[in-house]
Structure 1
Amino acid sequence: MIATSTNPTTAAFPAINLQTVALIVLSGAVGTLAFDLWGEAIAPLLGFGGLAPVGLARGFLGALGLPNSAAWGNVMHLFLVGVIAYPVGWLFIARPILARVVPGMHCAIASALYGVGLWVFAIGFIAWFAGNPVFLGFTRITWVALAGHVFYAIAAAATVQYLERQRTA
Structure 2
Amino acid sequence: MTPQTRTPGAFPALAGSTLMLMIIAGSVATVAFDIWGQVIAPWIGLGNLSPDGLARSLLGTFGLPNGRPEGIFMHLVIVGLIGYPVGYLFIFRPIWERVTGQTGWFLASAVYGFGLWVFAIGGITAIADGVPFFLNFTRIAWVALAGHVLYGIVAGWIIAYLEAPRA
TM-score, reference length from structure 1: 0.92
Matches within 5 A, 1:79-118: 79-118=77-116
Distance in 2 between residues matched to 1:58 and 1:95, nearest whole Å: 29
Which residue does the alignment assign to 1:140?
139
Q: How many residues align?
A: 164
Which residue does the alignment assign to 1:162?
161
8 Å contact 2:106–2:153 — kept in the other structure? yes
8 Å contact 2:8–2:102 — kept in the other structure? no
Distance in 2 between residues matched to 1:107 and 1:162, nearest whole Å: 10
Distance in 1 between residues matched to 2:3 and 2:44, nearest whole Å: 36
Which residue does the alignment assign to 1:150?
149
8 Å contact 2:47–2:143 — kept in the other structure? yes
AA aligned to 1:105 is T
**1:163 Cα shift?**
1.0
Which residue does the alignment assign to 2:3?
2
Distance in 2 between residues matched to 1:136 and 1:42, nearest whole Å: 20
My pick for the range that moved more, 98-107 or 31-40, is 98-107
CA deviation digits over 1:68-108, x for unaligned, max 9?
A: 01000011000000000000000000001000111132311
**1:39 Cα shift?**
0.4
Which residue does the alignment assign to 1:120?
118
8 Å contact 2:52–2:71 — kept in the other structure? yes
**1:20 Cα shift?**
0.5
My pick for the range that moved more, 105-114 or 90-99, is 105-114
Q: Quick one: which of 122, 127, 130 aligns to 2:128? A: 130
AA aligned to 1:56 is L
Q: What are the ranges of 5 or more consecutive residues in structure 1 without an aligned counterpart?
A: none
8 Å contact 2:12–2:89 — kept in the other structure? yes
Distance in 1 between residues matched to 2:139 and 2:69, nearest whole Å: 27
SS at match of 1:147: helix
Distance in 2 between residues matched to 1:23 and 1:68, nearest whole Å: 29
**1:162 Cα shift?**
1.0
Distance in 1 between residues matched to 2:56 and 2:70, nearest whole Å: 7
AA aligned to 1:77 is H
Q: What are the ranges of 5 or more consecutive residues in structure 2 without an aligned counterpart?
A: none
Distance in 2 between residues matched to 1:29 and 1:105, nearest whole Å: 25
